[in-house]
Amino acid sequence: MPQHLPSKNIEATKRVLPMILATAIFMQMLDSTILNTSLPAIAKDLHQSPLNMQNAIIGYVLTLAVFMPVSGFLSDKFGTKRVFILSLLLFSAGSLFCSLSGNLTQLVMSRIIQGVGGSLMTPVGKLALVKSFPKKDLLKAMNFAIIPALIGPVLGPLVGGYMVDYLSWHWIFLINIPMGVLGIVLSLRYMPDYRSDVIDFDLRGFLIFAAASLLLSIALELLGDEVYTTPALAILSLGVLMLYFYYRHAVTDNNPIFPLNLFQVRTFRVGILGNLATRLGISAIPLILPMMIQIAYGQSAVVSGWIIAPMALTAILAKSQVIKILNRFGYRTTLMANTFIIGCLICTMAIPAISSSIYYYVPIIVMMGFFNSIQFTAMNTISIADLREYHTSSGNSLISVNQQLAIGFGVAFGLIILKIFQGDVKLIHDDIHNAFRYTFLVVGALTILSGLVFRRLHFKDGENLK
């Protein structure tokens, strides 16, 4: 049985726990957005092409996806408090190693260490939040937890741009360390220590699922290079085969790491599929837009940072409205309409020619921040709306894995499309800006189509969260 909070600590924990989770998400969001705007400068210093730097992003995201399934088991066995503090230590150490990297290989390996910490940090913090609040208060608590975390995308592009232009890219990783220390101090006092007496880790299922995640991600990355098309297709087939093996394993195992009956819960099933489909398109934009501003328009990292920053400011504004919107329109209508709007906004990024002002993108980014915020809050909460207590740990882990895989696939997908158009000289008239424009059209169209997933929701779904 899970361990419960002492009554005297309940109110203090409920006040501070959302801030602890926000610290973890803040670190990850700041780190990822700083890296996006700094990639061209890092690539130059490490003697790499900016388009080859996706290993630093995909390696991190892939590590998150591979190790996140272990987060539920480790929390049950060792307690949420110890595991969360360990995750902060690993993430901070990885950040230090990133700052000391002298080549791309060292940077990727350091990002993997960061990924191990990050794979535990957010899901364990989120699990503690889910177990500490009743469902009727969960949307408000999670919404509050994400508000301060959204400061990361505001500061990320700006701080990263100024550090790259006026100091050195190495400093963009060092700023994680004081935040990690703050998270550890708060966790030592306020993080609840939930655990379970029943421990049964599905090692075989974990290894099969981890192998599938690795193979699928490697295949998607290799598909961006025509030289590796045949091996990529072979690896992709192996990845799909491993998913089938996991399905066979989960059918027969008494306690699989991700029980198949999770997918019998319709809101969970739709939430998982919707998260995967919509993030494939949305996740590519924070990387591709800064790259276009710096590569095609020849602007500095600071300028690209200022153009991206408004996305987070309006995301914070949306957090104050999302509960009202969901209460009025419901999850089904909100998610379908919201996804369509986001897809259309991405497509409009393809309109301006190279002679147009780069500030054309600012109002689009402002609107995208608002609707992205609604999208992520709605998808995350509807996914756990109807989960039973005994499914909380495994369901929460699978949601986190799914999100990180979708982000990794989205980044890889966006870069693959960009490379394909970049290689078609006749189509883009030997102008790389046109390659970016066509990429926005493809990614936007995919996002619009992904909204159809939410048709499977019932108009009353999510009422227990109100």
Please check whether residue 2 lies inside any domain of the structure: no
**Under 8 Å between Cβ of 155 and 129:** no
Q: Look at residue 417 and tell me whether its pLDDT is greater than 90.
A: no
Please check whether residue 1 lies inside any domain of the structure: no
Distance CA 354, CA 55 (A): 28
If one compares 136 and 119, the residue with the highest pLDDT of the two is: 119
Q: Are residues 214 and 362 in the same domain?
A: no
Among the residue ranges 28-42, 58-72, 372-386, the one predicted with the least confidence is 28-42
Q: Exposure pattern of 279-314 as b/e (b: 16+ CB <10 Å)?
A: bbbbbbbbbbbbbbbbbbbebbbbbbbbbbbbbbbb
pLDDT at residue number 199: 65
Q: Look at residue 94 and tell me whether its pLDDT is greater than 90.
A: yes
Distance CA 74, CA 276 (A): 25
Q: Look at residue 259 and tell me whether its pLDDT is greater than 60.
A: yes
pLDDT at residue number 32: 67
pLDDT at residue number 354: 80
Q: Are residues 152 and 269 in the same domain?
A: yes
pLDDT at residue number 2: 46
Distance CA 212, CA 235 (A): 10
Which of 33-47, 267-281, 402-416 shows the highest mean pLDDT? Answer: 267-281
Instruction: Indicate the pLDDT class of residue 68, thresholds 50, 70 and 90.
Output: confident
Q: Look at residue 93 and tell me whether its pLDDT is greater than 70.
A: yes
Q: Are residues 232 and 115 in the same domain?
A: no
Q: Are residues 107 and 146 in the same domain?
A: yes
Q: Are residues 189 and 227 in the same domain?
A: no
Q: Which percentage of the chain shows pLDDT scores above 70? A: 87
Please check whether residue 19 lies inside any domain of the structure: yes
Share the mean pLDDT of the chain: 81
Q: Which percentage of the chain shows pLDDT scores above 90? A: 15
**Under 8 Å between Cβ of 153 and 100:** no
The last residue of one of the domains, among 215, 239, 256, is 256
The last residue of one of the domains, among 231, 256, 281, is 256
The last residue of one of the domains, among 213, 233, 256, is 256
CATH number at residue 382: 1.20.1250.20
pLDDT at residue number 294: 85
pLDDT digits over 128-171, tens only? Answer: 887 877 767 777 777 767 665 566 666 676 777 777 777 777 78
Distance CA 227, CA 231 (A): 9
Q: Are residues 21 and 153 in the same domain?
A: yes
Which of 187-191, 353-357, 398-402 shows the highest mean pLDDT? Answer: 187-191
Q: Are residues 309 and 446 in the same domain?
A: yes
Q: Look at residue 226 and tell me whether its pLDDT is greater than 60.
A: no
If one compares 326 and 320, the residue with the highest pLDDT of the two is: 326
Q: Are residues 295 and 229 in the same domain?
A: no
Expressed as residue numbers, the domain containing 244 is 202-256
If one compares 374 and 148, the residue with the highest pLDDT of the two is: 374
Instruction: Indicate the pLDDT class of residue 224, thresholds 50, 70 and 90.
Output: low
Question: Into how many domains does the chain fold?
Answer: 2
Residues 83-89 have a mean pLDDT of 93
Among the residue ranges 4-13, 114-123, 270-279, the one predicted with the least confidence is 4-13
pLDDT at residue number 286: 80
pLDDT at residue number 223: 64
Q: Are residues 251 and 152 in the same domain?
A: no
Distance CA 281, CA 88 (A): 29
Please check whether residue 315 lies inside any domain of the structure: yes
pLDDT at residue number 37: 66
Q: Are residues 47 and 58 in the same domain?
A: yes
Q: What is the 3-state secondary structure (H, E, C) of 111-163?
A: HHHHHHHHHHHHHHHHHHHHHHCCHHHHHHHHHHHHHHHCHHHHHHHHHHHHH
Six-digit token string for 252: 């027969």
Entry pTM: 0.74
Q: Are residues 190 and 207 in the same domain?
A: no
Q: Are residues 206 and 173 in the same domain?
A: no
Residues 418-440 have a mean pLDDT of 81
